[in-house]
Structure 1
Amino acid sequence: MQPHFQTRAAVEIRRCRNIDEQAMLLDAWNQSYCQISRGAFDGSVSSIAAGGVRVLVERLNRTVYQRGHVAQSKLAIGIPFQLEGHALLCGQTSHRDGVHVFSGDGGFEFLSPDKHVIVNLEIDPQAVTSSLVRSQLDELAPFVGTRPGVLNVDPGRLDELRAVLRQMLDTVAATPTLLDDPGVVAAFEKSAIFGVAEVLQGMPNAEAQGTPDARIVRHWQLVRTVRELVEASPDCPLSVAELCARLRASRRTLQYAFEDTLGVNPSAYVRAVRLDHVRRELRNASSVSEAATRWGFWHFGNFSNEYREQFGELPSETFRRAKHRGF
């Protein structure tokens, strides 16, 4: 579901060819994205804001490793409309019939698949207009405000919520001026929040997310440590051998951890992150070769081919576009 409408203060759609631009559109989520699978990125974020509820429909066409931390004043959950392929949220298996909780302590890490359309509900309890709806949010907080993870819910109820959200978004997209009516805004808030409550009804306690597999947790923690290392510009490890030396871990251990979580080998991941660093540095670098060599790419022919395979364009094209009109 991807409604088409003109940009306004409360209703807008943004199509992105740049993964960093897309991450910034979810501005209360403090996100960073790293593209894992190869090919040109094409995504979009549709946004509808009504009172204390902001609906963000995010579409991605590449596997992306996301890290973020939702503002403490907000509750954030995701309802998958399309989620096909290997995916994990904070070490838990991510699937279409699970409510994805992004708010809570410690932030979140989300490996999203190539085929990804998710409707995110970002809720500001203080901005909700109805005291009845605010009291409902107090009841939901133990489920969606404590820690990120996947809530396994009744698929039938989740389908009903998808249908309601689709109808709400299509209606407002077709007639954005409806949101000028305070009564419509109040109805939008109630429909979204009580719709979520209906899905979560009957869950016994806030531990409904369950406990992730211990092996997955260990591997996820190792991958998180690797990510922190490779993002530590300008001291990014340039090879798996260097990574093993720093972590005092065997190559086999890294291999198992990465294949178990991200579905790629550590060499492919390190290469993807280094290419991502180069892509960002092309905004301000004086030349392509300067940006490439800073991240250990010494053979410019091979580098250009790898860059094109990863992002769907040559580094020189990225560089020229950045110089002419910015990223």
Structure 2
Amino acid sequence: MQRDEDADADKRAAHWKHRQSHIVTSDPCQHAESLPAWSQEYLQLEAGPFFGEIKESTFGPVQVFQETIDQVIDEKANPRRDSYTVGIPVRVTENGRWQGHELSDRSVMILKPNEELHFKTPKHSNILVTVITCCALDAIAEGDGFGSADDLFQRPHVVEVGDDIASNFRAALFNALSVSQNNPGLLEHEAVRNDLSDSVMHSVFATLTQVGDFGKRLSNGQSVQRSIVERARTYILANRQRALSVAELCEHLRMSRRGVHHAFMNVLGVNPVTFLRYVRLHEVRKALLDPGCRESISTVAANWGFWHMGMFGQYYKQLFHETPSDTTKRIRGPLDSMSRFRS
């Protein structure tokens, strides 16, 4: 058993040696699956077309990416395990929240190893993020006289820094990403990979050592409300074939209708009725995007509690700006889509 685990570790280490990719998407569900080494779920919170772009590079123990999204999304994500995550917005419009903390263009975003991320994006989101294995960043910290990099992460998930610190950190991530994206062949050279990873890690270390423990501390109310939203999401997914009512959701949460409403509006900006519908619509869309799914559109919709196909079609088109048939045509072609709709 130990030998198998060691072999798996060797495979993972080889996989992380180097890689670069540039992906453009027009679908939130597909976009959620496009970031290498991340496990993600995206819930689109406003009606309209989606645009997403990811520029990503991995060199040794370091992953750097720039993610651009033009839509309000509630992200639930997990980076690769046993890694530190640090990011900064390229630009901020309004209402972006990382782990419940409101963002500005001088916000450094932090995620401790093996934490689950909750990120509500602004309407136009553009962020730079690096993910660094614990052992690599710990080695940098130890070399600079710190016992562990973990000491630098014992602070709020969002800290505000000065303009110069923000600009320098942003430039360091931009430069490492640009070099690897524009000259992918350079990643074949170990010396280049080492230089890029070292520059990013030292930039993270320099950024976090220049800021104190001050930051945007999350109010207890926001933390409790996010917990309510996640409990609601779990309950909805566990009762997929029933169109749950808000009253039933309130009963499960043991909360008043008013309290549940405030929680959803404060965390996501949508009411519970809309959230219930959006979760089920996204699950239908995921199924329709699966090339291996052979069920009809009406069956898939019914599986998620949509029994009136006319209303389902209206809801679907309003949110995603295409019909369910349009979705299947893009994935499987028009003939297969029609046969699935009729079957």
> In the alignment, what sits opposite 1:289?
298
Judge which range, 58-67 or 88-97, deviates more.
Answer: 88-97
> In the alignment, what sits opposite 2:247?
241
Structure 1 counterpart of 2:265, which letter?
E
Structure 2 counterpart of 1:184, which letter?
V
- Match status 1:76 vs 2:85: yes
> In the alignment, what sits opposite 1:12?
21
Which whole-Å deviations, capped at 9, do the CAs of 1:205-224 have from their partners, x for residues lacking one?
5xx45531122122222112
- Match status 1:269 vs 2:278: no
2:319 match: secondary structure? helix
Equivalent residues in 2 for 1:1-327 (5 A)? Answer: 10-104=19-113, 106-126=115-135, 132=140, 135=143, 139-144=148-153, 149-205=157-213, 208-209=214-215, 211-234=217-240, 238-282=244-288, 283=290, 284=293, 286-324=295-333
Judge which range, 153-162 or 170-179, deviates more.
Answer: 170-179
Instruction: Tell me by how many angstroms 1:106 deviates.
Output: 4.2
Measure the CA separation in 1 of the matches of 2:303 and 2:42: 21
Instruction: Tell me by how many angstroms 1:253 deviates.
Output: 0.9
Measure the CA separation in 2 of the matches of 1:226 and 1:261: 13
Over 3 Å counting, the alpha-carbon distance change for 1:190 and 1:256 in structure 2 is same
Measure the CA separation in 2 of the matches of 1:178 and 1:134: 29
Measure the CA separation in 1 of the matches of 2:55 and 2:250: 41
Instruction: Tell me by how many angstroms 1:126 deviates.
Output: 4.3
Structure 2 counterpart of 1:155, which letter?
D
Which whole-Å deviations, capped at 9, do the CAs of 1:194-246 have from their partners, x for residues lacking one?
112222223345xx455311221222221121121122252565332221232
TM-score with structure 1 setting the length? 0.85
Instruction: Tell me by how many angstroms 1:275 deviates.
Output: 0.8
Identity %: 27
Measure the CA separation in 2 of the matches of 1:115 and 1:74: 27
Measure the CA separation in 2 of the matches of 1:316 and 1:142: 52
Instruction: Tell me by how many angstroms 1:314 deviates.
Output: 0.3
Structure 2 counterpart of 1:177, which letter?
G
Instruction: Tell me by how many angstroms 1:165 deviates.
Output: 2.5
Measure the CA separation in 1 of the matches of 2:136 and 2:33: 22
Measure the CA separation in 2 of the matches of 1:27 and 1:170: 18
TM-score with structure 2 setting the length? 0.81
> In the alignment, what sits opposite 2:13?
none
Instruction: Tell me by how many angstroms 1:131 deviates.
Output: 5.6
Over 3 Å counting, the alpha-carbon distance change for 1:103 and 1:305 in structure 2 is same
- Does the 8 A contact of 1:91 with 1:217 survive in 2? yes
Aligned residues: 315
- Aligned CA RMSD, in angstroms, stands at 2.8
Measure the CA separation in 2 of the matches of 1:138 and 1:71: 23
Over 3 Å counting, the alpha-carbon distance change for 1:169 and 1:69 in structure 2 is closer
Instruction: Tell me by how many angstroms 1:161 deviates.
Output: 1.6
Measure the CA separation in 2 of the matches of 1:125 and 1:106: 13
- Does the 8 A contact of 2:64 with 2:128 survive in 1? yes
Measure the CA separation in 1 of the matches of 2:287 and 2:186: 43
Over 3 Å counting, the alpha-carbon distance change for 1:138 and 1:316 in structure 2 is farther
> In the alignment, what sits opposite 1:5?
none
1:254 match: secondary structure? helix
2:326 match: secondary structure? helix
- Does the 8 A contact of 1:54 with 1:121 survive in 2? yes
- Does the 8 A contact of 1:111 with 1:262 survive in 2? yes
Measure the CA separation in 2 of the matches of 1:174 and 1:100: 26
1:84 match: secondary structure? coil
Judge which range, 216-225 or 173-182, deviates more.
Answer: 173-182
Structure 1 counterpart of 2:174, which letter?
R
